[in-house]
Amino acid sequence: MDISELPFYVGVLVLLVAFVAVFVTAKRLTRRWLRWRVRGGAGVGMALTVLSLALFVVGDYSCTARAPLAYSADCKHVAVLTWGLQGALGSDIATVKVRHRYSPFAKTVYSGSGWSDSPDLHDTNPQVRWIDNKHLIIRYYEFPGYEQVCAPHALGIEVVCEHLPSHFVSSSQYK
């Protein structure tokens, strides 16, 4: 898990704390019919929040692969490469985000099809590499039917996207 995923979890925990606070303070209500309805609603809200968080965590971690973080030369910025694995449904979805090293807020600079078949991560799509402190290069293969979106700037970083011809993709990449 990358720290750029923390804002979502903090938001869910704030929602859960709000439901708990409503549940606890509802016992001070003097009207019994209102007290039971408010506590029941807060209890249902807590249960749904915990259930949706559990389902999200299980789904996210079973269907997401993460590459090691790519630090800029001065180590002030980080490129985060993840793949949303779809399996037999189609090509995997790759996302590259850039963030400051200690910031949980990341900006998406690439989104499109991709894969990670190699255990050493040298044979991936897209390929992410820092040129220097302020320049990031993303090389990717284009697949028919999938849209690749590449942002030219993010957080003061110049992003260079290089489209590689599709005929260089080996047949082993489609397994």
pLDDT in tens, 80-136: 988 876 655 556 788 899 999 999 899 999 988 777 665 555 567 788 899 999 999
pLDDT of residue 40: 95
Rounded to an integer, what distance in angstroms lies between the CA atom of residue 113 and that of residue 168?
A: 16
Give 16 or 55, the one with higher predicted confidence: 16
Alpha carbons 3 and 105: distance in angstroms, whole number: 8
CB 146 within 8 A of CB 113: yes
> Which is nearest to 150 in space by CA: 117, 116, 107?
107
| Tokens found for residue 116 | 């990670």
Which pLDDT belongs to residue 55?
Answer: 87
Query: Is the overall model pTM greater than 0.85, yes or no?
Result: no
| Predicted confidence (pLDDT) per residue in 12-43, tens digit | 999 999 999 999 999 999 999 999 999 999 99
Whole-number Cα distances in Å, 1 to 24, 66, 82, 152: 33, 8, 10, 26
Looking at 30-39, 51-60, 109-118, 156-165, which range is the least confident one? 109-118
The contacts found for 152-155 with CB under 8 angstroms, 24 or more apart, are 154/98, 154/107, 154/108, 154/109, 155/77, 155/98, 155/99, 155/100, 155/107
Residue 163 pLDDT > 60, yes or no?
yes
Amino acid at 83: W
Q: Give the span between the Cα atoms of 134 and 155, in whole angstroms.
A: 9
Structural domain spans, the chain: 3-62, 64-174
Any idea which residue has 């991709």 for tokens?
114
